[in-house]
Structure 1
């Protein structure tokens, strides 16, 4: 991959992640759906319970909890190799909680999509 392509892909992925943060702030599942692949998954612990589900469960959780208007996002760290990428982002005040989110993405038909979200919910 050339440096130019890598830079362009990095910008596209960061824009996609900014859309993710905006979806959190607004509470809009319609904003989130296009950035996740239909077969995407979510996994992480909520207290002692493992939450490992299809991404639809994240949409349900998001609708139940509503907007996180005061959500703050830290630096978006991107690593790209060909058609695969990973992202790490720190999120503060997602409905009162702090998360570290890890995403895997794949470029499908020229478009980056999130295939998995793994999260760490920081203790209160």
Structure 2
């Protein structure tokens, strides 16, 4: 019976990590930078490049960028994987047509006080690099 309980906990934790990514995913569609910001810890950094230009943004700077881009009503996303080890997790999310871009985002998350949040993100903008 113990294995079954652990399997349920593991499954539920996966769902909690996916749920913690939801504000970020929803903000990509709505252009709501404040919503995007709510998914990140204060110390978080977002690193990647667009058009060959290296970007290293704080969560606040990234939230402003999301707001300035505005909504992307046709965006599609797919959570490719989530990997969890205790209070640490990593996730890969694919986006298509975020303002005409395709992105692959890699997230590092941490669970503190029962809540998962994004500690860092790095991304690839595919053909835009």
The question of 1:30 aligning with 2:21 is answered no
Alignment partner for residue 71 of structure 2, among 57, 67, 72? Answer: 67
TM-score (norm 1): 0.92
Shift of 1:85: 0.1
The question of 1:108 aligning with 2:112 is answered yes
Structure with max Cα Rg: 2
Measured in 2, the distance between the counterparts of 1:31 and 1:54 equals 15
RMSD: 1.6
TM-score (norm 2): 0.89
Unpaired segments ≥5 residues, structure 1: none
Change (3 A) 1:36 1:94: same
Please state whether the residue corresponding to 1:123 is helix, strand or coil: helix
Unpaired segments ≥5 residues, structure 2: 1-5
Residue number in structure 2 paired with 1:49 = 53
Shift of 1:61: 1.0
Residue number in structure 2 paired with 1:81 = 85
Measured in 1, the distance between the counterparts of 2:121 and 2:113 equals 21
Which aligned segments of 4 or more residues in structure 1 are displaced greater than 4 angstroms? none
Q: Which moved more, 1:59-68 or 1:13-22?
A: 13-22
Number of matched residues?
Answer: 124
Residue number in structure 2 paired with 1:117 = 121
Please state whether the residue corresponding to 2:127 is helix, strand or coil: coil
Residue number in structure 2 paired with 1:19 = 23
Q: Which moved more, 1:40-49 or 1:27-36?
A: 27-36
